[in-house]
Amino acid sequence: MRVKHKKWAAPLMEAHPELITLDPASFKGRWQERFEKSQPLQIEVGMGKGQFIIGMAKAHPEINFIGLEIEQTVAAIALKHALPERLPNLTLICGDGAGLDTYFEDGSIDRMYLNFSDPWPKTRHEKRRLTYKSFLANYQKVVKPGGGLEFKTDNQGLFEYSLTSLNNFGMVFDGVWLNLHESPENEGNVETEYEQRFAGLGQPIYKLTAHFPGE
């Protein structure tokens, strides 16, 4: 998500250390202290402006959620949206999904979400795709045995790439939907900002759920 750099972004984040951190490695091993209760932990990598992760935290008070976003201004917009909600089961990170193993202890996350990740269509940018094998290896470390990954996108090319990448990595698919909004899987679906936009244009939404081998 590209947005214009805003001067207020960094100061706003610095003013709200109770809800967002720019130094996620400093919380390694103690993320549960960021929440009112110790509960299962789920994370979205690339939360954008936070619509999905805030919606999930409202819909599932029995789960703790972390939204992670690399772009400072985008993360600050998510923070702006989250602040008035005062959700005891949500915390945010401004950081890089490539650093998950430096932010989280092995096996500490129950479920991961990737929603409408940047497609990086050029082959020379493959390593930047959030479903590239080096990212999957990183996710595998931090996700609990038995925990899984959910991925939604409107982008057919990225979806096909991700199916192949996860399959080559040895991940086990639990479900694949080629038109989420027309399927029973859509019940209870929390829409992301991009999902609303593309579904509104009549585009099908693709979804897969999978878990790592040996689980």
Ligand X SMILES: C[S@@+](CC[C@H](N)C(=O)[O-])C[C@H]1O[C@@H](n2cnc3c(N)ncnc32)[C@H](O)[C@@H]1O
Judged by CB under 6 A, the stretch of 23-31, 55-63, 96-104, 159-167 that binds ligand X is 96-104
Cβ 204 to ligand X shortest distance, Å: 15
Judged by CB under 6 A, the stretch of 22-30, 62-70, 137-145, 169-177 that binds ligand X is 62-70
Q: What is the footprint of ligand X within residues 167-196 (CB under 6 A)?
A: 192-195
Nearer to ligand X, 113 or 212 (CB): 113
Residue 110 falls in the annotated catalytic set: no
The alpha carbon of 9 is separated from its chain's Cα centroid by a whole number of angstroms, namely 21
- One-letter amino acid at 187 equals E
Catalytically annotated residue among 106, 118, 154, 174: 118
Q: Number of residues in contact with ligand X, rule: CB under 6 A?
A: 22
Cβ 214 to ligand X shortest distance, Å: 26
What mask, x for binding ligand X by CB under 6 A, covers residues 119 to 148?
Answer: ------------------------------
Q: What is the DSSP letter of 192?
A: P
Query: Using CB under 6 A as the criterion, which residues of the chain lie in contact with ligand X when the complex forms?
Result: 1, 45-48, 52, 68-71, 74, 96-98, 115-118, 192-195
Which residues are identified as catalytic? 118
